[in-house]
């Protein structure tokens, strides 16, 4: 990618993203531009090869937008990233990645913060106290609030709920799960340095902690 094209892209997108975001642009094999922010710096240099498992690597190879948390093993610093590939004839020519501190990912519009979430059950909406929610699951594009009284749909994505919910109470443990730490009955070891959470709900539900979130989960839980 030509340097003039890179600068034109950066000048355009830098007006859109928050100041705390670092910006990286990569082609199919390496980073070609990097602009760090004061909030987070992954020490990327133009010419650095894409690291397998990184947000940029996934966007290029999957040819689709990727947004997720990456732990410190890749760059020595945990981060939350969003990467969008630029496609030409179905092939990813490059990608633009925005990098945020892990718990201040995307401010965007201010989302409401209450001590309850609204759950939809058939033809009605029910305010559900946060203390009643054992875990939140994303399944087939739907967000499900799992409680002892039933399972309810919620309008927000897990990413949006991460920004709304108190971080000392709700922790992301898997791409498809957010758990209420006060509703965990047991933490059991699983394969490949991961865990399974046995919840306090009536069904003693088992929630996975994926390898991607395992080290952060342990640090936040204090073990």
Domain definitions of the chain by residue range: 3-100, 116-221
Residue 80, beta-bridge partner list: 69, 100
| Rounded-to-integer distance, Cα 87 and Cα 48, Å | 22
Q: How many residues in total does the chain contain?
A: 223
DSSP state of 164: H
Fold exhibited by the domain 116-221: OB fold (Dihydrolipoamide Acetyltransferase, E2P) (2.40.50)
Phi, psi (rounded to 5 degrees) for 14:
-65, -20
Query: What per-residue confidence (pLDDT) applies to 164?
Result: 84
- The CA-atom distances, in angstroms, between 217 and each of 11, 70, 95, 185 are 37, 12, 29, 15
Residue 137, beta-bridge partner list: 144, 177
**210 Cβ contact partners less than 8 Å away, ≥ 6 residues apart:** 173, 174, 175, 194
Query: What per-residue confidence (pLDDT) applies to 108?
Result: 43
| Rounded-to-integer distance, Cα 152 and Cα 158, Å | 14
Nearest to 26 by CA among 52, 6, 4: 6
Token pair 């209420």 is at which residue? Answer: 180
Nearest to 95 by CA among 41, 198, 23, 16: 23
CATH class of 3-100: alpha beta
pLDDT tens string, the chain, 223 residues long: the values are 555 665 666 666 666 666 778 999 999 999 999 989 888 999 999 999 999 889 999 999 989 988 887 877 889 888 888 899 988 888 888 899 999 887 654 444 455 677 899 999 888 999 999 999 999 999 988 999 999 999 999 999 888 888 788 888 999 999 899 999 999 999 999 877 689 999 999 999 999 999 888 888 888 888 8
Tell me the whole-structure pTM to 2 decimals: 0.57
DSSP state of 206: E
| Rounded-to-integer distance, Cα 55 and Cα 67, Å | 7
Query: What per-residue confidence (pLDDT) applies to 78?
Result: 84
Token pair 């007006």 is at which residue? Answer: 15
């Amino acid at each position: 990618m030509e340097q003039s094209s890179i600068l034109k892209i950066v000048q355009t997108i830098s007006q859109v993203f928050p100041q705390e975001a670092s910006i990286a642009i990569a082609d199919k094999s390496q980073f070609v531009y990097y602009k760090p922010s004061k909030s987070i710096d992954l020490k990327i240099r133009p010419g650095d090869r894409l690291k397998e498992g990184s947000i940029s690597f996934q966007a290029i190879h999957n040819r689709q937008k990727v947004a997720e948390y990456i732990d410190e093993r890749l760059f020595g610093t945990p981060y939350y990233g969003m990467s969008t590939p630029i496609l030409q004839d179905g092939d990813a020519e490059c990608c633009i990645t925005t990098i945020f501190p892990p718990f201040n990912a995307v401010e965007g519009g201010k989302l409401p913060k209450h001590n309850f979430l609204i759950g939809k059950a058939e033809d009605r909406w029910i305010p559900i106290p946060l203390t009643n929610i054992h875990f939140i699951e994303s399944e087939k594009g739907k967000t499900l609030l799992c409680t002892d009284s039933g399972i309810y749909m919620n309008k927000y994505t897990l990413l949006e709920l991460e920004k709304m919910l108190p971080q000392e109470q709700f922790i992301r443990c898997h791409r498809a799960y957010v758990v209420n730490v006060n509703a965990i009955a047991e933490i059991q070891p699983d394969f490949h340095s991961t865990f399974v959470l046995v919840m306090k709900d009536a069904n003693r539900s088992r929630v996975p902690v994926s390898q991607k979130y395992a080290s952060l989960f342990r640090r936040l839980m204090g073990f």
